[in-house]
Structure 1
Amino acid sequence: MGGVPMRHHTSSKVGRRRSHLALKKKNVMVCAECKAPILPHRYCSNCGYYGKKKVTEVKAKTKKNVKK
């Protein structure tokens, strides 16, 4: 036999518990160099800058094999 709840949970009790399960909105910023949307405290994957400093070298994007 499977487990069963010891006590009945009212809908208000369940609702109060579930009130914190909502998805939070992401805080999206704009890159200072290329104006691409980025998350805060992360370097831009588009241009490689973190604020005003060049952090990494970004490789040029290549086209993958296209089905003909």
Structure 2
Amino acid sequence: MAVPKRKTSKARRDKRRSPNMKMTAPGLCICPQCHQPKLPHRVCPNCNYYDGKSVINEVTEAPAEA
């Protein structure tokens, strides 16, 4: 069984890990209805449109129980 002869230093260990830790910004596109940035292939959080159609209906208050 292979066993390391010496402890791996923090600099050597972190040098190996650093390229995999980079975060990338999400790709944004512009909503054709309200012209606000949104994530691609998702319903616009501002106007609730997707592919030119209203997808999410506005939530209305339910009548009060008497």
How many residues align? The count is: 54
Q: Which runs of 4+ in 1 moved over 4 A?
A: none
Superposition pairs of residues 1-68 of structure 1, within 5 angstroms: 7-10=6-9, 11-58=11-58
| Unmatched tracts of structure 1, length 5 or more | 1-5, 60-68
TM-score normalised by L of structure 1? 0.62
Task: Flag the structure with higher helix content.
Answer: 2
Q: Which is higher, the Rg of structure 1 or of structure 2?
A: 2
Query: How big is the alpha-carbon RMSD for the aligned residues of Structure 1 and Structure 2?
Result: 2.1
TM-score normalised by L of structure 2? 0.64
Percent of pairs with identical residues: 31
